Amino acid sequence: MSSDDERPPVWIGHMAMHTTKVAESSKFMQLFGMRLVAGGDEFSVLEMRGGTHLVLTADEESTLVKCSFDLMAEDLDASHVGDLPV
Protein backbone atom coordinates (compact mmCIF):
# COMPACT_ATOMS: atom_id res chain seq x y z
CA MET A 1 0.00 0.00 0.00
CA SER A 2 1.48 3.34 -0.99
CA SER A 3 1.89 6.10 1.58
CA ASP A 4 -0.73 8.30 -0.15
CA ASP A 5 -3.36 5.51 -0.18
CA GLU A 6 -5.69 6.33 2.70
CA ARG A 7 -7.83 3.22 2.41
CA PRO A 8 -7.81 0.81 5.37
CA PRO A 9 -5.40 -2.09 4.88
CA VAL A 10 -8.10 -4.79 5.33
CA TRP A 11 -11.39 -5.66 3.63
CA ILE A 12 -13.85 -8.52 3.29
CA GLY A 13 -13.11 -11.03 0.55
CA HIS A 14 -15.83 -13.54 1.34
CA MET A 15 -18.82 -13.78 3.61
CA ALA A 16 -20.78 -16.96 4.17
CA MET A 17 -24.43 -17.71 4.82
CA HIS A 18 -26.00 -21.10 5.47
CA THR A 19 -29.37 -21.98 3.96
CA THR A 20 -31.71 -24.90 3.44
CA LYS A 21 -32.50 -23.55 -0.05
CA VAL A 22 -29.28 -22.85 -1.94
CA ALA A 23 -30.81 -22.49 -5.43
CA GLU A 24 -33.65 -20.24 -4.26
CA SER A 25 -31.33 -18.09 -2.13
CA SER A 26 -28.89 -17.75 -5.02
CA LYS A 27 -31.62 -16.60 -7.41
CA PHE A 28 -32.87 -14.12 -4.82
CA MET A 29 -29.38 -12.58 -4.48
CA GLN A 30 -29.00 -12.47 -8.27
CA LEU A 31 -32.17 -10.35 -8.46
CA PHE A 32 -30.21 -7.67 -6.58
CA GLY A 33 -27.46 -7.81 -9.19
CA MET A 34 -24.97 -10.25 -7.67
CA ARG A 35 -23.18 -12.25 -10.35
CA LEU A 36 -23.18 -16.04 -10.13
CA VAL A 37 -19.60 -17.32 -10.20
CA ALA A 38 -20.12 -20.99 -9.36
CA GLY A 39 -22.81 -23.16 -7.95
CA GLY A 40 -24.24 -26.55 -7.36
CA ASP A 41 -26.66 -28.36 -5.09
CA GLU A 42 -24.53 -27.77 -1.99
CA PHE A 43 -23.16 -24.26 -2.57
CA SER A 44 -23.34 -21.07 -4.58
CA VAL A 45 -20.73 -18.34 -4.95
CA LEU A 46 -21.96 -14.87 -5.92
CA GLU A 47 -19.74 -11.91 -6.71
CA MET A 48 -20.29 -8.28 -5.78
CA ARG A 49 -18.38 -5.17 -6.75
CA GLY A 50 -14.82 -5.03 -5.49
CA GLY A 51 -14.35 -8.79 -5.58
CA THR A 52 -16.36 -9.54 -2.45
CA HIS A 53 -18.06 -12.92 -2.65
CA LEU A 54 -21.14 -14.23 -0.89
CA VAL A 55 -20.83 -17.98 -0.37
CA LEU A 56 -24.14 -19.76 0.22
CA THR A 57 -23.75 -23.26 1.63
CA ALA A 58 -26.35 -25.96 2.15
CA ASP A 59 -27.17 -26.76 5.75
CA GLU A 60 -30.33 -28.79 6.28
CA GLU A 61 -30.26 -27.92 9.99
CA SER A 62 -30.04 -24.19 9.30
CA THR A 63 -32.76 -22.08 10.83
CA LEU A 64 -33.83 -18.58 9.93
CA VAL A 65 -31.55 -16.17 11.73
CA LYS A 66 -31.12 -12.46 11.53
CA CYS A 67 -28.32 -11.50 9.18
CA SER A 68 -27.69 -7.79 8.83
CA PHE A 69 -25.59 -6.11 6.17
CA ASP A 70 -26.00 -3.16 3.84
CA LEU A 71 -26.04 -3.56 0.07
CA MET A 72 -25.04 -0.49 -1.94
CA ALA A 73 -26.01 0.16 -5.55
CA GLU A 74 -24.74 2.56 -8.19
CA ASP A 75 -28.31 3.44 -9.23
CA LEU A 76 -30.96 2.47 -6.69
CA ASP A 77 -33.88 3.15 -9.05
CA ALA A 78 -32.34 0.95 -11.75
CA SER A 79 -31.68 -1.75 -9.15
CA HIS A 80 -35.27 -1.87 -7.94
CA VAL A 81 -36.79 -5.19 -8.92
CA GLY A 82 -40.30 -4.76 -7.56
CA ASP A 83 -41.88 -7.23 -5.20
CA LEU A 84 -39.38 -9.93 -4.38
CA PRO A 85 -40.55 -13.39 -3.32
CA VAL A 86 -39.66 -14.19 0.25
**Domain architecture of the chain: domains with CATH:** 11-61 (3.10.180.10)
Q: What is the dihedral sign for C-alpha 56, 59, 28, 40?
A: positive
Q: What is the pTM of this model?
A: 0.74
Q: What is the pLDDT of residues 27-63, one digit of tens each?
A: 989 988 899 999 999 999 999 988 899 999 999 888 7
Give one DSSP letter per residue of 28-40, joined into a string: HHHHTTPEEEEE-
User: From CA 86, how far away is CA 64, in angstroms rounded?
Assistant: 12
45 phi, psi to nearest 5 deg: -115, 125
